[in-house]
Amino acid sequence: MTLVVNPSFEALRPFVASVPDRFERGEGSVIYQGRNELRVMEHEGKRYVVKSFHAPHLINRFVYGIFRPSKAKRSYDNAVIYLSIGVGTPAPVGYVNVRSGLLFDRSYYISEESRCPHVYSELFERKFPYEDEVMRAIGRVTATLHEHGYAHKDYGRGNILFGRDEDGTVRIEIVDLNRMHVGRIGLKAGCKNLERLPATPRMHALIAEEYARLRGFDAEECCRLMAAYRRVQPGLIDGKY
Give residue 232's pLDDT: 60
Residue 131 belongs to domain spanning: 118-232
pLDDT band for 132, please (50, 70, 90 cuts).
very high
The verdict on 216 and 135 lying in the same domain is yes
Least-confidence region, from 70-74, 86-90, 97-101, 191-195: 97-101
The verdict on 101 and 146 lying in the same domain is no
The answer to whether residue 142 sits within a structural domain is yes
Domain-ending residue, one of 112, 141, 161: 112
- Whether the predicted pLDDT of 48 surpasses 80: yes
The CATH number given to whatever domain includes residue 70 is 3.30.200
Number of domains in the chain: 2
Give residue 69's pLDDT: 82
CB 110 within 8 A of CB 73: no
Taking the C-alpha atoms of residue 203 and residue 227, their distance in angstroms, rounded to an integer, is 10
The answer to whether residue 211 sits within a structural domain is yes
Secondary structure of 130-175 as H, E, C letters:
CHHHHHHHHHHHHHHHHHCCEEECCCCCCCEEEEECCCCCEEEEEC
The CATH number given to whatever domain includes residue 191 is 1.10.510.10
The verdict on 88 and 156 lying in the same domain is no
Express as a percent the part of the chain with pLDDT over 90. 80
Mean pLDDT, range 77-104, rounded to an integer: 90
The verdict on 100 and 124 lying in the same domain is no
pLDDT band for 236, please (50, 70, 90 cuts).
very low
Residues 198-224 have pLDDT tens digits of: 999 999 999 999 999 999 999 999 999
Give residue 240's pLDDT: 37
Domain-ending residue, one of 88, 112, 136: 112
pLDDT band for 102, please (50, 70, 90 cuts).
low
The verdict on 6 and 106 lying in the same domain is yes
The answer to whether residue 210 sits within a structural domain is yes
Query: How far does the chain reach from its first CA to its final CA, in angstroms?
Result: 36
Domain-ending residue, one of 96, 112, 128: 112
Least-confidence region, from 89-93, 176-180, 237-241: 237-241
* 112 contacts: CB under 8 Å, gap ≥ 6: 46, 47, 48, 49, 90, 91, 93
The verdict on 226 and 123 lying in the same domain is yes
- Whether the predicted pLDDT of 178 surpasses 50: yes
pTM: 0.89
The verdict on 122 and 206 lying in the same domain is yes
